[in-house]
Chain A
């Protein structure tokens, strides 16, 4: 039963991750809330579970020439340097408090996603509207 639950949770997280929308942000709460796994352990599962998929995706993207190596030095290097102390810092936190932090992080991400969808919708609407106006002027001053 537990195996089945973990597979279903994995597939759900994988589908969202495969769509490029951060599957991990949903996989972790599914593991804690639905499968009762402790927060630190759930985060560890997420980190490891997405590595094979990322490797495959990266190979495909490199073949399609979509990957830019110029960010390795100035973005990836400081990122790796910051990730290790952050990973050590959670040793000092209990599962409950880490889970609350994670909840706050999810709210921020969800809010940002909502805002960016609204912004792109408004931009699209404006662009369409502008064309309409231009057409109207053209018709009037033909």
Chain B
């Protein structure tokens, strides 16, 4: 890719990731990993790791904006957050034991089913 083209892809992709992550309060990583891996040709592991570096500042900026807008519940966030940390550790350990493609298929089916429920009902 030519340098100028690559730079536009990075800026455009970054802006899209930021917009989506701010608008939906998440999901930026699901766009960032393919951008790094498929378009900018980074290896899978590095793409996943670097995606966190990009998503973290976005999440912090969005979280501050959300809190300033009054969308914040200390109690619910604390309890859910504790669950997320426990689950996150379990997930990282499980990753080595489960077939990633089977999990991916189940997860994709769940996203489409839940998405349809939210979008149309």
Contact = CB atoms under 8 A, between A and B. Distances in A.
Interface of A: 3, 6-29, 31-33, 37, 40-55, 57-58, 61, 64, 66-69, 71-72, 74-91, 99-114, 116-117, 120-121
Contact of B65 (A37, A68, A69, A87): A87
Interface residues of B, number: 90
A50 to B, nearest CB: 6
A27 B19 contact: no
Chain A residues touching B, majority SS:
helix
A106 B62 contact: no
A22 B50 contact: no
Interface of B: 7, 10-30, 32-36, 42, 45-46, 48-50, 52-63, 65-67, 69, 71-73, 76-77, 79-95, 98, 100-101, 103-105, 107-112, 114-120
A139 B61 CA distance: 62
A29 B19 contact: no
Contact of A47 (B11, B59, B79): B59
